């Protein structure tokens, strides 16, 4: 009887161990559940942009806003846009008057020191000139548009007795003799709009030569 009890207990323990212990078939599944295999990551492929790139503007290259010479009226009083110190746009045909009087046009630049000296000398004499002789006089700057503020400042500081404008598209250099290469330059137009006097650069006393020619034309 005692031996029978030991035999039954032995088989009972063996059955419990077989029930709880994993089999060889179950081992891979259990390991997979604990440590899942790494997922395959697809490599990132950079797609080539096939759209046409926008042209990049070079900040050091300035575009020319001027019209071709063939589109500009090359006869006095021309048809060139002029901007005053208050920001108003005018046409040279309205500024350079064909009123039977000689017309002086002073071309200058805000960065040009001789221009400043010449216009200061003319300003010193202009009131007495006007008392003696009836003529037109206009100062036209050939500054780039980016220097417009400097133009305004110069006009306000100088308080000239003559009108001043800036050639915003820099078109006068396409119609004037020598392309206005080198400033200051002074021109006198007679009552018919013909150039009768042209002076380049400035030497002290040139303003008196300028007025002498104006006076000569005014009495004709």
Domains and CATH numbers, the chain: 76-218 (3.40.30.10)
Quick one: pLDDT at residue 219?
84
Angle at which helix 113-132 crosses helix 148-158, to 10 degrees, equals 40
Cα angle at 67 between 98 and 90, to 5 degrees? 40
Residue 209 clears pLDDT 90, i.e. is over it = yes
CB 175 within 8 A of CB 69: yes
Question: Residue-wise over 49-63: b if at least 16 C-beta within 10 A, else e?
Answer: eeeeeeeeeeeeeee
pTM: 0.73
Does residue 4 surpass a pLDDT of 80? no
Q: Give the mean pLDDT of the chain.
A: 85
Lowest mean pLDDT among 1-5, 63-67, 93-97, 157-161: 1-5
pLDDT (0 to 100) of residue 16:
45
Instruction: Give the angle subtended at the CA of 129 by the CAs of 127 and 133, to the nearest 5°.
Output: 125
Angle (deg, nearest 10), helices 113-132 and 206-218: 40
Q: What does the pLDDT read at residue 14?
A: 47
Give mean pLDDT, residues 88-94. 98
pLDDT band at 18 (very low <50, low <70, confident <90, very high): very low
131 confidence band (pLDDT: 50, 70, 90):
very high
**What integer is the mean pLDDT of 99-124?**
97
C-beta of residue 53 within 8 angstroms of C-beta of residue 68? no
Q: Does pLDDT of 30 surpass 70?
A: no
28 has pLDDT over 80: no
- Number of CB atoms found within 10 A of residue 77's CB: 18
d(CA 84, CA 42): 66
| Whole-number pLDDT of residue 216 | 96
Residue 173 CA, distance from chain mean position: 20
pLDDT on residue 76: 97
């Amino acid at each position: 009887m005692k031996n029978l009890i030991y035999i039954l207990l032995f088989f009972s323990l063996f059955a419990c161990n077989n029930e709880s212990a994993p089999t060889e078939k179950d081992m891979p599944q259990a390991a997979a559940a604990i440590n899942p295999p790494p997922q395959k990551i697809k490599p990132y492929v950079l797609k080539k942009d096939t759209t046409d790139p926008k042209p990049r503007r070079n900040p050091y290259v300035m575009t020319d806003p001027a019209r071709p010479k063939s589109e500009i009226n090359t006869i006095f009083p021309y048809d060139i846009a002029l901007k005053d110190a208050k920001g108003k746009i005018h046409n040279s045909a309205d500024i350079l008057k064909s009123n039977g009087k000689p017309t002086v046009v002073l071309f200058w630049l805000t960065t040009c020191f001789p221009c400043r000296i010449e216009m200061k000398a003319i300003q010193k004499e202009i009131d007495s000139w006007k008392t003696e002789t009836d003529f037109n006089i206009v100062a036209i700057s050939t500054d780039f548009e980016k220097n417009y503020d400097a133009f305004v400042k110069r006009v306000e500081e100088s308080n000239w007795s003559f009108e001043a404008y800036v050639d915003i598209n820099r078109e006068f250099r396409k119609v004037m003799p020598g392309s206005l290469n080198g400033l200051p330059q002074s021109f006198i137009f007679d009552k018919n709009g013909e150039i009768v006097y042209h002076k380049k650069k400035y030497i002290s006393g040139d303003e008196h030569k300028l007025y002498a020619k104006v006076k000569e034309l005014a009495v004709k």
